[in-house]
Copies of this chain bind each other. A is one copy, B any other.
Amino acid sequence: MTPVKIGILGLGTVGCGTVNVLARNGTDIAGRAGRGIEVVAAAARDIERERDCDTSGIRLTTDPGVVVDDPEVEVVVELMGGTETARDLVLRAIDAGKHVVTANKAMIALYGNEIFERAHARGVMVAFEAAVAGGIPIIKAIREGLAGNRIEWLAGIINGTGNFILTEMRDKGRDFEDVLAEAQSLGYAEADPTFDVEGIDAAHKLAILASIAFGIPLQFDRVAVEGISGITREDVSFAAELGYRIKHLGIARRMDNGYELRVHPTLIPERRLIANVDGVMNAVLVQGDAVGPTLYYGAGAGAEATASAVVADLVDVVRALTTDPENRVPHLAFQPDALSDHPVLAMEDVHTSFYLRLRTQDRPGVLADITRILGEHGISIEAILQREPDPQRGEATIIMLTHAVREGAMNEAITAVEALPHLLTPITRIRMEAL
């Protein structure tokens, strides 16, 4: 059979990684797919510069539209990033009846509903394994591997930069800003690290995971997002003392009255497998009603790890080229008419345990006042760790771990406690999950 001809938009790290993997493993890939995969065209901002991949035999252009419109290109691989232009090009490919493979989590999170609707109407595939957790085949695992399950919840370390920073803070007792600067110099973090450290990148991915897990439309704007920039090395070390690690998790949970979609720093018992996922690695823990807990671990970024997912999607697309569109794996796991419109819960209605850190004046009765207020809001305390007070400064630090409570009640309690005259600084609160 003749090879399937593809065009790549974007020859950056992942684009070049994809060219390299297709070249190096071409024989194995054809042995699996039943047909070869040939890159015939590619678009790049600068087609003159030296690259880490061999582009001989590939028609290069600076205009991605030329690749999309190239009559020889059967599958368009979008690896340019960004949202608006990428969306326009993907829709243009779909309208031309071409299949699409993309690694673009932001585009899928923001415009996926529109893109999949258009693709469904046109009978083409849009595959996006590389959009979440790099090379880990997590989309396929949830959408196909766990197809017999009602997914109850999932929790993932889905931003490698954030995990690298938290790991360094714990292992070496370093400060957030210090590690961030190093991550930037190592190339793990962007010059503008907002997407990584403020949780936006993780929220894009969580919106996608939740959609395929529960069969709900993509709802990025409903994800509650909190980053790691407020985590201090003090909190990391108190957590360790209590037997916990702080990880930045994306969590999606099915509740009777709706879905929880949230991204935030989280205390996890240190013996849990996911608490031991360190450095830039990613992992997603998925709880199905039949299978129980399953975990998927691997590199969440990097040229070839992401290319691994892109190529797996290409093989799937090649295999499904001749399939009746109605029998293909649905983009969002469920057939479009089977999507649920169950609501996403407000963060106030989410129940979790909490880690609280309070700085107070070192006076008799302070702890009694605090625990009384918490009690009045229905919050019960599981553990208290009181640091030796600092007599020089007349200050004490109190750490409390609470049992699960509605977040709205916790917010009210915190406001009331902070109104006490003895409180010196705002309360630090980090959510906890037993997983």
Contact = CB atoms under 8 A, between A and B. Distances in A.
Contacts of A117: none
Nearest to A215: B31
Given A140-B144, A299-B291, A327 B321 contact: yes
A308 B144 contact: no
Contact of A290 (B137, B290, B307, B321): B307
Interface stretch (A21-29, A71-79, A372-380): A21-29
Contacts of A296: 141, 294-297
Interface size class of A (residues with CB under 8 A): 35 or more
Interface in A274-333: 276-277, 283, 288-299, 302, 304-305, 307-312, 314-316, 319-324, 326-330, 333
A147 B299 contact: no
Given A297-B294, A308-B291, A327 B148 contact: no
Given A31-B215, A34-B335, A145 B137 contact: yes
Nearest to A310: B148
Contact of A141 (B17, B140, B143, B319): B140
B335 A328 contact: no
A30 B330 CA distance: 12
Given A215-B31, A296-B295, A297-B297, A290 B319 contact: no
B215 A150 contact: no
Contacts of A25: 148-150, 289-290
Contact of A311 (B22, B283, B290, B316): B290
Given A146-B308, A148-B310, A293 B289 contact: no
A435 interface: no
A279 to B, nearest CB: 12
A135 interface: yes
A140 B330 CA distance: 17
Contacts of A146: 135, 137, 308, 312
